[in-house]
Structure 1
Amino acid sequence: MATKTTKRKGETSTTVSVGIRIDPKIKFALDMMGRMQKRSLTAVIEWAISNAITQQDWAHEEPFSEVIDKVWSTDESTRFVMMAFFMPQALTYDELRIWETIKATGFFWKTYPDGTWQVAEDMIDVGWVRSGWSAILEHVERHKHSPTIVPIPDTDLAPF
């Protein structure tokens, strides 16, 4: 996914560029919709996708679009944690390995006096996950062939 860079150094655009292949008839229809709505092709595609998101059926009480609003963050690690809590069925195998590693590592969780923790949205310290995100990804990659999840030792996380 490419991110546009503006003329000012260090700033990024709020949009991303996506290359897609579509049927010529669909492209024609989108062009005609753009003419009818007085919108650009990009605006018509965004409008159509936004409508599809609001209509997405996914067998949960909360509408899909509201869950997307909960999950979305510009920070990759925060977005990942929210996706793991609110859309776990969307995680890939590799993402599941990352999530299982986070769940098995006490460092990321608020602990009870006896040292145990509970995997719950209000018990995770997203700031610690964010700070250790690179270390988490490296650890999971290093142990990807292990048949079991390998928790990250505290010594590998502090200080990052």
Structure 2
Amino acid sequence: MAKNKPNQGARKTETLTLRMDPKVKFLIEIISRVRRQSITGVVEAAMEETAFDLDVPYVEDGKSETRALGAVFSDIWSTDESELFINFCAHMPTLLTYEEQRIWETIKISPVFHESKTSKALTDWSIDGVGRIDRGMVRTFWEDLVEHSIQNRESRTVVPFEAPF
């Protein structure tokens, strides 16, 4: 059986290119030698440690509070981009970029993404005036939804998404 090349199928890792002060880069190299870790391992460990020290605004059951990012990250993370997006919107809405806000607002005003009799994958939470979001429909039309948002980014109002069926 042939193996997938790195650019085919799902990736297990992502590439990150950083610009940093040479002094900091050398510091990371020393840490990696002392710990007998790769530079990637040192950076990953530092990020994970920072996540538990970093408080973020977090919404749960409609209540906003502050929690350590490392403690709530698993509530948000998903390998599915649409699921990750919905989780992020639900739990950390104040951290959305303008483009993410437009997609989220498009989801909220588009009936195709609202709970219906045929919905099978609903959110555990609901949005005032909207109800629960049909995660299955968002997943099905994710790429079309993102493209719709890009095409309508110049509109002064959010344009509802209509499913192509």
The number of residue pairs the alignment matches comes to: 144
- 2:127 corresponds in structure 1 to 119
Structure 2, unmatched stretches of 5+, are 58-64, 118-125
Counterpart CA distance in 2 for 1:15 and 1:22 is 21
Residue 40 of structure 1: how far off its partner (Å): 1.4
For 2:23 and 2:93, the matched residues in 1 are separated by 36
Q: Is the 8 A contact 2:51 2:68 kept in 1?
A: no
Contact 1:67-1:86 at 8 Å conserved across structures:
no
Identical counterparts, % of pairs:
33
User: What is the distance in 1 between the residues matched to 2:86 and 2:3?
Assistant: 32
> Higher strand fraction: Structure 1 or Structure 2?
2
Counterpart residue identity of residue 18, structure 2: I
**Which of 143, 146, 149 does residue 140 from structure 1 map onto?**
149
* Residue of structure 2 equivalent to 1:36: 34
2:97 equivalent among 89, 92, 95: 92
TM (norm. structure 1) is: 0.79
Instruction: Tell me whether 7-16 or 69-78 shows the greater mean CA deviation.
Output: 7-16
Amino acid corresponding to residue 136 of structure 1 in structure 2 = L
Q: Is it true that 1:20 corresponds to 2:28 in the alignment?
A: no
Match of residue 78, structure 1, among 80, 83, 88: 83
Q: Measured at CA, do residues 61 and 94 of structure 1 come closer, stay the same or move farther in structure 2, by a change above 3 Å? A: closer
Aligned to 1:8: 3
- Deviating beyond 3 angstroms after TM superposition, the runs of 4 or more aligned structure 1 residues are 10-13, 59-62
Q: Secondary structure at the match of 2:159?
A: coil
